[in-house]
């Protein structure tokens, strides 16, 4: 079979940090190629370079044997490379046909759009692919899975030979995933090449025939999926033994810090029960969309649970709004610090003080000296590297920003710390400091509940791990009794 795409030694760094040091891939016509790797393995950087969004620092891309360098997604598309992104961005109030032919609508004599032939062409395309979608439907009326099918049709209308799919099943259910798979098989039969990116190993074995694995920004292996088993692939993705990257110094106590019993939220999760002890780091592991973040939202009063009870220090508590949770000594470090953790327009000091203003300034008038002092204390405790505390927090590195968020909550002397992906987008050095902060907090009698989709982190830092799948808990395990393979198996 002919080689549609060949990539060698692709490199890319951001601000001196290598996101990709050796990206490789070979894609043949009529093949579904799985691109595997953990978070931060460099998969999305790799795709973005191929799509012409990022400019590569080094390496070679060959399209049907000829070296290429795309400067924009439009160029990549013109060369027959299309991507179906994780977050689709259709124009919701336009029809399917209008979305497919966006920017190249067939025109009539006086410059008007020839809707009839556009709709006919779109319908023919959809029918050929056996997608049960009408070209005149509006995008807003389609399900996420149907929108993906429209994206596939759009890619084919551009005559794309290489189609990247970035975690296409992360937002759709099992039945819809099967429809997607049959669409992928049709693409395969048409002799197109599909690069399929997913964390879900069962899917990879179901739909793909070849694989390439990345780890820490570099190629680690490739081959036929028929020649490896699930365990081999996991070992390749997870790689090294858990090194001293995870320094764990806390010891769980006997007293329960927070207990959750039968917590439900109709659209997100059901019957979640767990208890985390003082001095313990309790891990919750699951894929995106498994309901883990939503549990925290209920525990912190951002959303309402439909059923269940929460106990703190053995007493039943009601949490309806964030201030209720804060009064009980609960702190929440959210998953996305830029959108929900920080006010990027304001200073380091203002952000550190943001959750403690009533305590710092009980008399309505701002206690400026108190704020200066609080900010100085937190910057020293967490070694936040900022030139001045009046500088905008947006000027800090990801790790320092995350430490500002931690400082904001530690200023309140919390008893229970809810951490949602505490080290996302943070470099190794800052990661280690965040782990140290977690352990110190637990050792001082605090309770830590940590959500993470990084398997190394969960195994390295948590004392016990609850695994989530599709909004349900599939079990809680002691860290000594489980391993990466087991966790990945349970969560997918």
Residues with Cβ < 8 Å from 175, sequence gap 6 or more?
A: none
Q: How far is the CB of 479 from other proteins (least distance, A)?
A: 29
Task: Return the residue of 92, 358, 429, 445 that touches other proteins, per CB under 8 A.
Answer: 358
Per-position x/- string for 322-351, each x denoting binding to other proteins as judged by CB under 8 A, each - no binding: xx--x-----x-x----xxxxxxxx---x-
Q: How far is the CB of 171 from other proteins (least distance, A)?
A: 21
Q: How far is the CB of 307 from other proteins (least distance, A)?
A: 24
Task: Return the residue of 192, 408, 415, 424 that touches other proteins, per CB under 8 A.
Answer: 408
Q: How far is the CB of 137 from other proteins (least distance, A)?
A: 28
Are residues 134 and 123 in contact, defined by beta-carbon separation less than 8 angstroms?
Answer: yes
Beta bridge partners, 223, equal 211
Q: Closer to other proteins by CB, 355 or 417: give it.
A: 355
Per-position b or e across 312-336, b if 16+ CB within 10 A of its CB: bbeeebebeeeeebbebbbbbbbbe
Q: How far is the CB of 342 from other proteins (least distance, A)?
A: 6
Told to check if 366 binds other proteins by CB under 8 A, we report yes
Q: How far is the CB of 139 from other proteins (least distance, A)?
A: 23
Q: How far apart are CA 431 and CA 435, in angstroms?
A: 6
Q: Which stretch binds other proteins (CB under 8 A): 222-230, 308-316, 320-328, 429-437?
A: 320-328
Q: Is 1 exposed, middle or buried (0-12, 13-18, 19+ CB in 10 A)?
A: exposed
Are residues 118 and 101 in contact, defined by beta-carbon separation less than 8 angstroms?
Answer: yes
Told to check if 226 binds other proteins by CB under 8 A, we report no
Q: Which stretch binds other proteins (CB under 8 A): 62-70, 120-128, 202-210, 356-364?
A: 356-364
Q: Closer to other proteins by CB, 270 or 303: give it.
A: 303
- Determine the distance from the C-alpha atom of residue 263 to the mean position of all C-alpha atoms in its chain, rounded to a whole number: 24
Picking from 55, 32, 42, the residue whose alpha carbon sits closest to that of residue 163 is: 32
Q: Closer to other proteins by CB, 353 or 455: give it.
A: 353
Q: How far is the CB of 397 from other proteins (least distance, A)?
A: 17
Told to check if 413 binds other proteins by CB under 8 A, we report no
Are residues 25 and 35 in contact, defined by beta-carbon separation less than 8 angstroms?
Answer: yes
Are residues 257 and 416 in contact, defined by beta-carbon separation less than 8 angstroms?
Answer: yes
Q: By CB under 8 A, how many residues form the interface with other proteins?
A: 27
Q: Closer to other proteins by CB, 189 or 363: give it.
A: 363
Q: Closer to other proteins by CB, 146 or 371: give it.
A: 371
Please, what's the largest Cα pairwise distance for the chain? 80
Residues with Cβ < 8 Å from 227, sequence gap 6 or more?
A: none
Q: How far is the CB of 387 from other proteins (least distance, A)?
A: 9
Q: Closer to other proteins by CB, 66 or 365: give it.
A: 365
Per-position b or e across 222-240, b if 16+ CB within 10 A of its CB: beebeebebeebbbbbbbe
Q: How far is the CB of 293 from other proteins (least distance, A)?
A: 12
Q: How far apart are CA 350 and CA 260, in angstroms?
A: 33
Q: How far apart are CA 340 and CA 74, in angstroms?
A: 33
Told to check if 302 binds other proteins by CB under 8 A, we report yes
Please tell me whether residue 272 adopts helix, strand or coil conformation. strand
Q: Closer to other proteins by CB, 252 or 370: give it.
A: 370
Picking from 160, 89, 90, the residue whose alpha carbon sits closest to that of residue 129 is: 160
Q: How far is the CB of 330 from other proteins (least distance, A)?
A: 10
Backbone angles phi, psi at 189, to 5 degrees: -65, -30
Told to check if 110 binds other proteins by CB under 8 A, we report no
Q: How far is the CB of 337 from other proteins (least distance, A)?
A: 8
Please measure the distance between the N-terminal and C-terminal CA atoms of the chain and give it in whole angstroms: 32
Per-position x/- string for 252-291, each x denoting binding to other proteins as judged by CB under 8 A, each - no binding: ----------------------------------------
Q: What is the dihedral of CA 320, 323, 324, 329, to 10 degrees?
A: 140
Task: Return the residue of 89, 364, 369, 481 that touches other proteins, per CB under 8 A.
Answer: 364
Q: Closer to other proteins by CB, 226 or 387: give it.
A: 387
Q: Closer to other proteins by CB, 185 or 338: give it.
A: 338
Query: Using CB under 8 A as the criterion, which residues of the chain lie in contact with other proteins when the complex forms?
Result: 300, 302, 322-323, 326, 332, 334, 339-346, 350, 353-355, 357-358, 361, 364-366, 368, 408
């Amino acid at each position: 079979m002919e080689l549609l795409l060949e990539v060698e030694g692709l490199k890319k760094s951001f601000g001196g940090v290598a996101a990709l040091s050796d990206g490789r891939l070979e894609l043949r016509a009529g093949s579904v190629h799985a691109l595997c790797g953990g978070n931060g393995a460099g998969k999305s950087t790799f795709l973005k370079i191929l799509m012409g969004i990022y400019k590569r620092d080094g390496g070679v891309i060959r399209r049907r044997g000829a070296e290429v360098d795309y400067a924009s997604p439009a160029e990549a598309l013109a060369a027959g490379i299309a991507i179906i992104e994780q977050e689709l961005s259709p124009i919701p109030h336009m029809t399917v046909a209008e979305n497919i032919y966006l920017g190249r609508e067939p025109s009539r004599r006086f410059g008007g759009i020839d809707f009839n032939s556009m709709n006919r062409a779109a319908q023919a395309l959809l029918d050929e692919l056996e997608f049960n979608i009408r070209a005149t439907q509006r995008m807003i009326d389609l399900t996420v899975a149907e929108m993906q099918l429209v994206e596939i049709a759009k890619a084919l209308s551009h005559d794309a030979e290489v189609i990247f799919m970035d975690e296409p099943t992360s937002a759709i259910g099992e039945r819809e995933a099967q429809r997607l798979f049959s669409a992928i098989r049709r693409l395969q039969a048409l002799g197109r090449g599909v690069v399929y990116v997913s964390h879900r190993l069962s899917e990879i074995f179901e739909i793909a025939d070849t694989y390439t694995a990345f780890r820490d920004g570099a190629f680690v292996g490739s081959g036929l999926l028929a020649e490896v088993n699930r365990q081999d692939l996991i070992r390749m993705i997870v790689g090294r033994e858990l090194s001293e990257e995870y320094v764990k110094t806390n010891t769980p106590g006997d007293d329960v810090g927070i207990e959750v019993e039968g917590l439900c939220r109709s659209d997100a999760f059901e019957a979640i029960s767990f208890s985390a002890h003082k001095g313990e780091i309790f891990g919750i592991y699951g894929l995106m969309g498994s309901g883990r973040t939503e549990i925290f939202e209920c525990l912190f009063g951002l959303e309402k649970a439909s059923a269940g009870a929460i106990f703190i220090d053995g007493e039943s508590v009601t949490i309806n709004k964030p201030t209720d949770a804060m009064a009980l000594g609960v702190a929440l470090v959210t998953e996305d610090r830029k959108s929900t953790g920080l006010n990027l327009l304001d200073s380091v000091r203002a952000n550190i003080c943001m959750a403690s203003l009533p305590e710092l300034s009980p008399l309505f008038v701002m206690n400026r000296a108190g704020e200066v002092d609080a900010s100085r204390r937190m910057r020293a405790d967490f070694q936040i590297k900022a030139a001045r505390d009046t500088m905008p927090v947006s000027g800090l590195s990801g790790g320092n920003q995350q430490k500002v968020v931690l400082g904001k909550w530690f200023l309140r002397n919390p008893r229970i710390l809810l951490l949602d992906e505490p080290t996302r987008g943070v470099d190794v050095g800052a990661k280690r400091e965040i782990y140290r902060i977690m352990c110190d907090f637990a050792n001082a009698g605090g309770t830590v509940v940590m959500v993470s989709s990084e398997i190394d982190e969960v195994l390295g830092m948590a004392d016990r791990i609850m695994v989530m799948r599709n909004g349900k808990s599939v079990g809680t395990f002691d860290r000594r009794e489980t391993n990466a393979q087991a966790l990945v198996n349970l969560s997918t």
